[in-house]
Structure 1
Amino acid sequence: MKQLSQAPHRLYFFLGLVALLSLLAWWWINLQFANQLPVPLHGILMPLGVFPLFILGFTFTAGPRWLNVKASTHHFILHGATYFVGIVLVLFASTFGLKPLRLSGFALMLSAWVAVTLRWARLIIESKSEDKKHAIALLVAMLGGILSMLCALLWAAGSELAWQAARQLSFFAFLLPIFLTVCHRMLPFFTANVLQNYVTWRPYSLLATWLIGSWTLAFAGIFGTNGSDASSAAQGIQVIVATLLSFSFANTSWRWGLFRSFENRLLAMLHLSFAWLSVVFALHAISALGVTTGSATTHALALGFMSTMLVAFVSRVSFGHSGRPLHAGNGLWSLYLALHLAAVLRVFASFQATDSLIKVSAGLWAAVFIAWGALMLPIYLRPRVDGAPG
């Protein structure tokens, strides 16, 4: 276990996988046996439980290089353990109906996230790098994480109005901006390292447009549910912004080399996941127009884009930082494609409201992540295969 303390990504990825598998088990059991599904908790806890620990693993591995600073490893174990324990407490409390303990769990998650956000802000201040745009974009998104977790805490304390804010902020002010920032910086970089004669294209104006659009959707989603005139205006804004984003992501996916990326499976995994975004926001626009889509948009975003991108990025970082070849074998490639299938099934289930299809998708999603966890967890518990530190 001492290997987990050798580098931040080891601990954060390890705890992230354990949290992810725990959340999947909790939800799968509820789908099979619960008389009444805890859907509101599921809608908040899954985004705030599945992704943040992995985000920290990437941020404090690649981020200091972006900023050209040497990051202290002090407190990363405390911060990671605190966030993880918060997730566990929420799960335990929800299972046994202990609302005060659930509140404590969300409070621990919030406190840990405040601490890591301050730590990231200090690194930005200490950095002498001339280009801090991606780092600052990450910081703004991490502040969005604080807002979303604060709303989740308020909801756990009894404020029903805070649920919609927590859900919208968690996806569109927190997670999506982080994913977009990382993709904007890293996808062209990774692609240029693999493909010959590749022309890197990643204007900062493009990233700014994405982030402004994402935050706009967050607040339009919060205010667009009460049936008032303001609600109608918010829905109109969502139609326009989501449509523009859908076209932007489709164009970017093409310009970044989606089809050429299949020359290398590990690279193709990143590009295939990014391609989901044009579908996600097409669904978002259709939903805002009044077409009944159920939770199709949310699951296309969370499962189609974020979960598959998580597998692609974490696999690449884990291979690279453990001295392994940057190569996706048949096993990883098959698991990755199966995750896309699970996402497609869940999106179709949202349109059809089919319980059996939801259970099939959840079962496939769980099976894929169990297999992926079995592949990845040993990496974090063993020394690098090349003997290098880290």
Structure 2
Amino acid sequence: MKQSESTLHPRWLLAAPHRAMFFPGAVQLLLAMLPWAAEMVARLTGQSLPWAWPPAWWHALLALYGIFPFFIFGFLLTAMPRWQGYGDLPTGIFVRPWALLIAGWGGVYASLLLPALRLPGMVVVFAGWAWLLVMMAPIAFRAGNGRLHAVPAWLATLAGLMGWCAWMGFAATGDGAWGRAAVELGVWGFLLPVFFTVSHRMIPFFSSAVLSDYVAFRPPWALFMMLGAALGHGLLVLLGESQLTWLVDLPAAGLAVFLTVRWGLVRSFEVHLLAMLHLGFMWLGLALALFGVQSLAAWQGNALLGLAPLHALVIGMFTVTALGMVSRVTLGHSGQALTADPMTWRLCWAVQAVAVLRIVGELWLAAQSALLVLAVLGWLVVFGFWAKRYMPVYLRPRADGRPG
């Protein structure tokens, strides 16, 4: 039964951890890209903005650490206890660390105008993130079959906190080495391990639930191989050996393509909400192949592809997968049918079009400025529509009357 608009109320945000985390995550999808959109438009028109930090650093900070952690925490606080046989977390246990994350990010954004707030805001975010890690640790490490995925997800989130510490080092010293370490830890130590771990567990599970004669396939060796490749890539880059990452990128790309086929990308189109997850995972093989080609070229003394591989990974895999997973959790935990409506399905394809625009912008240098503007404006349009569709759900009671 459709809920009336009059039932919208902020109190429902704290009824479940996914509500509390997904709502600011949806805000971040838009807020994190607004400064970059302003920078891209300024460049296109030949103007400059008064950044206290170089704008590329701000973009990396907001894109990698602003958007995804809220969605990751919302998902893990909902799913990890179930993986480990705990059931749902007690109501309200997450509220204080959540409030710290909100307050800290408020300080980070305010520091765009008042730079003195940057480091204090980061410290508050650190406190909220660390609190959540401490809260999840006994769940993640509890003995049981769920630990196969819970422990890597928890460790990756710890690596994300280490990356956040690197950002704090950059804020305190201005040394770009800290910023570079933060980016590598964020991509290869945090986001890729989390997204692959969740995909390894959930894509076969969801597929087996809705596709007939589907046999779930999630061998532990595939999980460990991809986690090793991610950490190996990040370590090689941090050691200044990025021209050798093809040694891990190309085998990992082969594994990703194998799993894309084995998990049934083509069959997944029978159920659009499921296909969104498969499409997000499909981008992993492409991104890793691009990283491998780029590294091989560097090994031969050539520079190719620019930031195309990174954006294939971040916009293609991370963002499309997050769109599918967050939409699914939102629908399922609000008592609605697990069905992607036509708009959600179109937005899934639109995000991939944004990824293509951003990748082409690295390859077609003559049109780069215009393509980057189109990509960031496309992002804002896509997630503006997505937020309009899904954010009100977090402010309403469940459609089926159940708690949560």
What's the TM-score bracket when you normalise by the shorter of the two chains? over 0.9
Q: Does 1:180 align with 2:193?
A: no
Cα distance in 2 between the residues matched to 1:165 and 1:295: 17
Confirm whether residue 142 of structure 1 aligns to residue 142 of structure 2: no
Aligned counterpart in structure 1 of residue 277 of structure 2, from 270, 277, 302: 270
Paired residue for 1:365? 379
| Long gaps (5+) in structure 1 | 225-230
> Helix, strand or coil: the match of 1:311?
helix
Partner residue in 1 for 2:111? 93
Give the superposition deviation at 1:180.
0.5
| Residue 28 of structure 1 pairs with residue 37 of structure 2 | yes
Q: Match for residue 65 of structure 1?
A: 82
Q: TM-score, normalised by structure 1?
A: 0.94
How far is the alpha carbon of 1:282 from its aligned partner? 0.8
Following the alignment from structure 1 to structure 2, what is the Cα–Cα distance between the partners of residues 130 and 320? 24
Query: How many corresponding residue pairs?
Result: 378
Separation in 2, partners of 1:285, 1:303: 18
1: CA distance between counterparts of 2:267 and 2:310?
A: 29
SS of the aligned residue for 1:293 comes to coil
The secondary structure found in structure 2 opposite 1:122 is helix
Higher RCO (CA 8 Å, separation ≥ 6 residues): 2
Q: Structure 2 CA distance, aligned partners of 1:190 and 1:131? A: 16
| Distance across 2 between alignment mates of 1:372 and 1:144 | 29
Runs of 4+ aligned residues of structure 1 deviating over 6 Å after TM superposition are none
* Post-superposition offset of 1:45: 2.4
Alpha-carbon distance between aligned partners in 1 of 2:71 and 2:102, rounded to the nearest angstrom = 11
Instruction: Tell me the equivalent position of 1:239.
Output: 246
Structure 1 residues 99-133: Cα deviation after superposition (integer angstroms, max 9, x where no partner) = 331111221222211111111102235x4534411
Alpha-carbon shift at residue 84 of structure 1 (Å): 2.5
Contact 1:85 1:105 in 2 (8 A): yes
Report how far residue 274 of structure 1 moved.
0.4
C-alpha displacement at 1:369, in angstroms?
0.3
Question: Partners in 2 of 1:50 and 1:274 — Cα distance?
Answer: 19
1:1-390 map, 5 Å: 1-33=10-42, 35=48, 38-70=55-87, 71-94=89-112, 96=113, 98-125=114-141, 127-158=142-173, 159-224=175-240, 231=241, 234-236=242-244, 238-289=245-296, 290=298, 291-353=303-365, 354-390=368-404
Equivalent residue for 1:228? Answer: none
1:115-169 deviation line (CA, Å, top 9, x unaligned): 11111102235x4534411111111101111110010110111232111110000
Q: CA 1:99–1:349 in 2, change beyond 3 Å: closer, same or farther? A: same
Q: Counterpart of 1:227?
A: none
Could you tell me how far apart the structure 1 residues matched to 2:231 and 2:308 are? 20
2:140 and 2:350 map into 1 onto residues whose CA distance is 39
**Cα–Cα, structure 1 residues 24 and 73, in superposed 2: closer, same or farther, change >3 Å?**
same
Q: TM-score, length-normalised on structure 2?
A: 0.91
Shift of 1:335: 1.1
Task: Give yes or no for contact 2:80–2:140 (8 Å, CA) kept in 1.
Answer: no
Q: Which amino acid aligns with 1:102?
A: R
CA-atom RMSD, angstroms? 1.4
- Separation in structure 2 between the aligned mates of residue 271 and residue 386 of structure 1, nearest angstrom: 28
Instruction: Give the percent of matched residue pairs that are identical in Structure 1 and Structure 2.
Output: 35
Aligned amino acid, residue 279 of structure 1? L
Could you tell me how far apart the structure 2 residues matched to 1:386 and 1:309 are?
27
Partner of 2:4: none
Contact 1:26/1:91 (8 A) holds in 2: no
Distance in 1 (alpha carbons) for counterparts of 2:357 and 2:343 = 21
Query: 1:40: how far off?
Result: 1.4
Structure 1 stretch displaced more, 25-34 or 379-388: 25-34
Q: 1:75 to 1:157 in 2, by over 3 A?
A: farther
1:72 CA drift (Å): 3.1
1:352 CA drift (Å): 2.2
Aligned CA distance change for structure 1 residues 131 and 381 (closer, same or farther; 3 Å): closer
